[in-house]
A = this chain, B = another copy of it.
Amino acid sequence: MKRTLSALAKNKPGVLADIATEFSKSEANILSLAAGETEQAEISRIVIRLEGNDAAIDDAEQTLKNLDAIIQIDDLSRKDFVDRELVMIKIAMSPGNTGQLMQIFEVFRANVVGMGQETITVELSGDQERIEGLIQMLVPYGIKSLCRSGMIALKRGDE
C-alpha cells in the first residue's frame, strides 16, 4: 500500500540518514522524498511517499517518533491534505512539432523555463494526476531529461 508521511525534524547531520535507514530496514520502498527548510531555520519538514507492508511502516514510524531529532510525524494518508509536486522536463523540439508542444503547455499551464537548439524545458506544479498527465502527453515527442521534486503536502483547513 502507498503511504505518505510528513515529519518535522531538527536540522542535524544524520537525521535524513536515520529516517531512510529505518524505512529501508522495514523493506518499504521510498517512492519519493522531499526535505526542505520550514519557517524556522533549525527545523526541516520531510515528506516521504512509501510503498510496502503497512504494519512494518507503522513500526518504523514508531521507532522514528522516539528519536530525539524527530519533533512530529503525521500520516497524511489518513488526513485531508493538499498535495503538490514540481516537475521539470526537457523535450526534443523540431520546427515541425513546436506548435503542438506549445498547445500542450498551454492546456496544462506549464511554464517554459529554457530553450536550446533542439530542446525545450518546461516546469509544472500540480497534483500527481496532472503531473502524470503532462508526462504521458510528452512521451511521444521524446523526453530527454526529467526531474521530479517528490510530493509535498500541507493539511487542509486552518489546522
> Bound state CA distance, A102 and B122, in angstroms?
26
Which of chain B's residues has its CB closest to A52's CB? B13
- Chain A: interface secondary structure? strand
List the B side residues contacting A116 at CB < 8 Å: 156-158
Q: Report how many copies the assembly holds.
A: 2
27 chain-A/chain-B pairs, Cβ below 8 angstroms: A14-B24, A20-B20, A30-B35, A31-B37, A32-B37, A33-B33, A33-B34, A33-B35, A34-B148, A34-B150, A36-B147, A36-B150, A39-B139, A39-B145, A39-B146, A45-B146, A82-B88, A82-B121, A84-B88, A88-B154, A114-B154, A114-B157, A116-B156, A117-B158, A123-B125, A125-B125, A149-B149
